[in-house]
Structure 1
Amino acid sequence: MIQEIIEAKLHQAFQPEYLQVLNESYMHNVPAGSESHFKVVIVSPSFDGRRLIEQHRAVNQVLADELAGRVHALSIHTYTPEQWRQNSQAPDSPMCHGGGHKES
């Protein structure tokens, strides 16, 4: 499963205090059971002192193979441990304009 690969790679690269990888493909106009749209919420001390763009680039670099293949979209929410303690919640993802899934 792509979701498990994403989780393993992010754990190895960032040793996160919190990691959530959600398959949000069902929210898009794709066939049922697809693994093409993901949301990542990751909290890691390795993000301390790094600008948001640098944090996102680091995640994209770790997942470059998946993004070059079957993953069509990746929503990234990175936090330092201090930022996470202040809020501890990532924003909800909006439904795609096409919404739902295609019947296959």
Structure 2
Amino acid sequence: MRVERIRQKLQDELKPLRLEIEDEGHKHVGHAHADGGHFRVFIVCPAFAGKPLIARHRMVYEALSEQMREEIHALSIVARAPEEVTDNG
């Protein structure tokens, strides 16, 4: 399953404290890539501390580079350092 492969890659590469992945393919019915490939990622990772948003996104894209070529058409990312997150997200 795509979500599990994404989860495993992000866990292996970035060691997040919190990771939520949502397959949003159902929101794109009728689009060219309606078969899937649209995902939302919420990730809290110590490696993001002190890094700007663009660097955080690059880290996620690099961790998922193989999936980005074949399985992921669109990726929405919310990337936070632990100190930026409350219990409610």
**Counterpart contact for 1:3–1:35, Cα < 8 Å:** no
Letter in 2 for 1:38: F
Give the secondary structure class of the aligned counterpart of 1:34: coil
- Which of structures 1 and 2 has the bigger CA Rg? 1
Separation of aligned partners in 1, 2:30 and 2:38:
9
Letter in 2 for 1:55: R
C-alpha RMSD of the superposition: 1.8
| Match of residue 75 from structure 1 | 76
Counting matched residue pairs gives 87
| Match of residue 20 from structure 1 | 20
Letter in 1 for 2:25: S
| Match of residue 7 from structure 1 | 7
| Match of residue 62 from structure 2 | 61
Please give the residue correspondences for 1:81-96 in structure 2 after superposition, counting only pairs within 5 Å.
81-85=82-86, 88=89
Aligned identity (percent) is 36
Query: Which 5+ residue runs of structure 2 have no aligned equivalent?
Result: none
Separation of aligned partners in 1, 2:52 and 2:88:
18
CA displacement at 1:17 relative to structure 2: 1.0
**Counterpart contact for 1:2–1:35, Cα < 8 Å:** no
Query: Which 5+ residue runs of structure 1 have no aligned equivalent?
Result: 89-104
Q: When the two structures are superposed, what TM-score results if normalisation uses the length of structure 1?
A: 0.76
Write out the 4+ residue segments of structure 1 that deviate beyond 2 Å after TM superposition.
none
Q: When the two structures are superposed, what TM-score results if normalisation uses the length of structure 2?
A: 0.88
Separation of aligned partners in 1, 2:20 and 2:37:
16
Deviations 1:57-93 (A, max 9, x none): 01001111111112110001100111112761xxxxx
Tell me which protein shows more helix as a share of its residues. 2
